[in-house]
Copies of this chain bind each other. A is one copy, B any other.
Amino acid sequence: MVCAVKLLTRTAEGGRAVAAAAKLCYSPSDAGSLFEGLGPEKVRSFLAHLRKAGHFSPFEHASFTFAVDGLSRVASHQLVRHRMASFSQQSQRYVPVGTPECVLPPSVSENPECRGLFEEHARRSLELYRTLVDRGIPKEDARFVLPHGWATRLVVTMNARELHHFFRLRLCRRAQWEIREVARQMLLAVREAEPELFDLAGPDCLTEGACREPSSCGRPYATMEELLAR
C-alpha cells in the first residue's frame, strides 16, 4: 500500500486573504476594502512579490486541511514534529487492527526475497497481535508487536507559511522517501486549489538556486515539474 492524500477543505479565497493582509501593512485602507478590491491578477502578482521577498508571514492566513491515509507510523512520527500544524490521528488504543496493513518500502518491494520475508513478518505480527488480544492483553499493549511500518490515518491542517516550510524540508531528495511522497501529494493538491500561493515551493536548490546543506545530494531540482513527478 502507498499513502494517499486528499485535500478535505481550506480557507475560502485564501490567496486573496493573504494578499489583503499583506497590503494592509503598508496601506491606510481597511482590510475589508482591500479584500474586495483585489482581482485575481493583482492577487497573483502580489503573492509572487511576497514570496520573492521572503515575506511569508501573511501566508499564515490561508489554511489547508488534508486527509492522509496509509502512512506508516515511521512517517507519522516525523510528520507530527511540525508544531505549527494541527493533527488528529486514528488511535491504536481504541481502534482494533484489521487486515495486515503495513507500508512496504520501495527498496523492499523491488527485492522479491526481502519482500517475501517482510510480508510474512507483517502477517505474523498481526497474528500475534490477535493472539495477545484473545489472551486478554489490552489493545493498547498488544500493538507493541505491530511493525513500525503499520499504516495509520491522520487529518492534518497547516497554513500556507508552514506548508512552504514543510515543502522546503520534506521535498529535499535527502528526506525520507515516504514523507517526501506525502509532501509531493500535498503540494499537488494545494497547487490545484490555490496555484498562486504555491507557484514556486520546495527545497532551496529549486527556490533559491542553491543548497545550504553541508552534505548536499548534488542533484538540484531544476523545475517544479521535476519536483512534482513521482
Residues of A within 8 A of B (CB): 6, 8-14, 16-17, 20-22, 24-28, 30-32, 35, 52-54, 57-58, 60-61, 63, 65, 67, 69, 72-74, 76-77, 80-81, 83, 86-96, 98, 102-105, 107-108, 111, 113-114, 117-118, 121, 124-125, 128, 131-132, 135-138, 140-141, 143-150, 153-155, 157, 159, 176, 212-214
Contact = CB atoms under 8 A, between A and B. Distances in A.
Given A73-B73, A94-B26, A144-B147, A159 B12 contact: no
A143 B177 CA distance: 14
The residue among A17, A92, A103 with the most chain B CB atoms within 10 A of its own CB is A17
The residue among A17, A155, A159 with the most chain B CB atoms within 10 A of its own CB is A155
The residue among A52, A125, A137, A148 with the most chain B CB atoms within 10 A of its own CB is A148
B147 A118 contact: no
B141 A107 contact: yes
Contact of A153 (B31, B89, B118): B31
Contacts of A86: 57, 60-61, 159
The residue among A22, A81, A144, A146 with the most chain B CB atoms within 10 A of its own CB is A144
A3 to B, nearest CB: 11
Contacts of A67: 30-32, 35
Q: Is the interface of A mostly helix, strand, loop or mixed?
A: mixed
Contact of A74 (B65, B96, B144): B144
A96 B28 CA distance: 8
A6 B24 CA distance: 14
B149 A147 contact: no
Given A11-B9, A21-B88, A148 B149 contact: no
Given A63-B63, A145-B148, A111 B90 contact: no
A58 B65 CA distance: 11
Contacts of A157: 60-61, 63, 159
Nearest to A131: B117
